[in-house]
Amino acid sequence: MLKVCVIGMGNIGNVHASVYSELKDKNVKLAGVCDIIRERAEAAGKKFGVPWYLDAREMLEELKPDICSVTTGGFEYSSDHYLPTIQALEAGCHVLCEKPICNDLEKAQIMVDTAKRLGRCFAVNLNHRFTPAARIVKQWQAEGLIGHLLFINMALWIGRFEPSFDTEYYHLKALNPHSVDIMRYFGGDIDTVHCFATKAPGRDIWSTASINVKFKNGAVGHLTSSYDIKRGHPMERCEVAGVKGRAVLEDMWREAVLYPADSLVKKVFTNPTFGGFRDFYDTFKDRISCFVEQVARGGRPEDIDGSGEQGLEASRVIHAAIESLKTGMPVKVETMVK
Ligand SMILES: NC(=O)c1ccc[n+]([C@@H]2O[C@H](COP(=O)([O-])OP(=O)(O)OC[C@H]3O[C@@H](n4cnc5c(N)ncnc54)[C@H](O)[C@@H]3O)[C@@H](O)[C@H]2O)c1
């Protein structure tokens, strides 16, 4: 039985803890929770019936978990990931860290390097692509039904209207690890980006962005992302086009459609009414189950799906886009801190 702890008991930490509690058949057991805010730690401990802590190091020493979820937030929704991730890795845990890996690329690199040095599995919660529909598009691609890649058009939009954000770049940094990861999932490494952005009325952040992308393999792409759309799902769309076919992935898990180049008959995968994904929560369930299964069967750190390294690469692309927004020029991703 794998013992799991969760560090950071805000909304998302509670989601992780709830998923682990539901995964009993996968030989995993929630063993403890921690938050530096007493009310949050205590409420989560009582809710899940596990010991609660105010200090991560103390919890790691006492409970000796096999897996640790790091679901802290902080400046730009990610500065607090660094310390508990390092603490958990050094305590011998395999770590699943929330996205963005870290707002500071140098620290993110240290997180990845530490996991490598200690031989621990380190993953980032890139949950948007952990869905049956995304896997089907990936399978079509692997079977050659899309063919030589031409373009990827990606869009991700939600509504976030807090009175203030930490920086002008909050939306770009906090939202887009998901969208960039999906583009990289289907298109591979990104070479260059060129970003334009706008501030919606009343906003002091770049709240809607348009990013042109050149992939290393020569394909092109585009990402539209926004914090300005006031409604729930659908919130995402990805179009992957090649010389043999074009696939469209709607709202992460709802539908995947393949339009073959040589036929007027399209293939459609629709989320099943019974036994399919109910809502966004199920992307967490799928992603966390995958990580637990990979760890349980002794998966190698370099084979982890949605790894720390992939999370870091997605953030590197975003930092390049921010540099492009500042300078007005296209920016090569490899120029971002290595
Ligand atoms: N994957 C997704 O779809 C998704 C969706 C929303 C948010 N997120 C990410 O989830 C993370 C958490 O989001 P949230 O809304 O729950 O944030 P939050 O700020 O409400 O909660 C984070 C908690 O971590 C605690 N914390 C900070 N440092 C700590 C430490 N060293 N030890 C113990 N506790 C500590 C804070 O006290 C706080 O209670 C963020 O990184 C965010 O980007 C992911």
pLDDT in tens, 118-146: 999 999 999 999 999 999 999 999 999 99
Tell me if 43 CB under 6 Å of ligand 1. no
- In CATH terms, 2-120 corresponds, of 3.90.190.10, 2.60.60.20, 3.30.930.10, 3.40.50.720, to 3.40.50.720
Which residues belong to CATH 3.30.360.10 in the chain?
128-277+314-335
Q: What is the pLDDT of residue 288?
A: 98
291-305 b/e (C-beta count within 10 Å ≥ 16 → b): bbebbbeebebeebb
CA-CA distance, 258 to 241, in Å (whole number)? 10
- Protein residue whose Cα sits closest to atom 5 of ligand 1: 12
Question: 290 alpha carbon to ligand 1 midpoint, in Å?
Answer: 21
Tell me if 12 CB under 6 Å of ligand 1. yes
Q: What is the pLDDT of residue 52?
A: 98
Q: What is the pLDDT of residue 249?
A: 98
Judge whether 42 and 48 are in contact, CB under 8 Å. Answer: no
Which residues are within 8 A (CB) of 189 and not within 5 positions of it... i.e. 6 or more apart? 215, 216, 217, 313, 333
Look at residue 337 and tell me whether its pLDDT is greater than 80: no
Which residues are within 8 A (CB) of 92 and not within 5 positions of it... i.e. 6 or more apart? 64, 118, 120
Tell me if 72 CB under 6 Å of ligand 1. yes
Look at residue 25 and tell me whether its pLDDT is greater than 80: no
Which residues belong to CATH 3.40.50.720 in the chain?
2-120
Mean pLDDT across the chain:
97
- Out of 40, 72, 81, mutate this one to test ligand 1's pocket (max ligand atoms within 8 Å of CB): namely 72
* Through-space distance between the first and last CA atoms of the chain, rounded to whole angstroms: 37
Question: 36 alpha carbon to ligand 1 midpoint, in Å?
Answer: 11
Look at residue 338 and tell me whether its pLDDT is greater than 70: no
Question: 200 alpha carbon to ligand 1 midpoint, in Å?
Answer: 26
Q: Which residue has the tokens 């057991």?
A: 29
Class at the top of the CATH hierarchy for domain 128-277+314-335 = alpha beta
Question: 59 alpha carbon to ligand 1 midpoint, in Å?
Answer: 18
Find the angle CA(254)-CA(259)-CA(263) to the nearest 5 degrees.
145
Quick one: which of 139, 241, 145 has its CA closest to 187? 241
- pLDDT level of residue 26 (50, 70, 90 thresholds): confident
Tell me if 69 CB under 6 Å of ligand 1. no
Q: What is the pLDDT of residue 151?
A: 98
- Protein residue whose Cα sits closest to atom 31 of ligand 1: 84
Look at residue 219 and tell me whether its pLDDT is greater than 90: yes
Tell me if 77 CB under 6 Å of ligand 1. yes
> pLDDT per residue over 77-92, tens digit each?
999 999 999 999 999 9
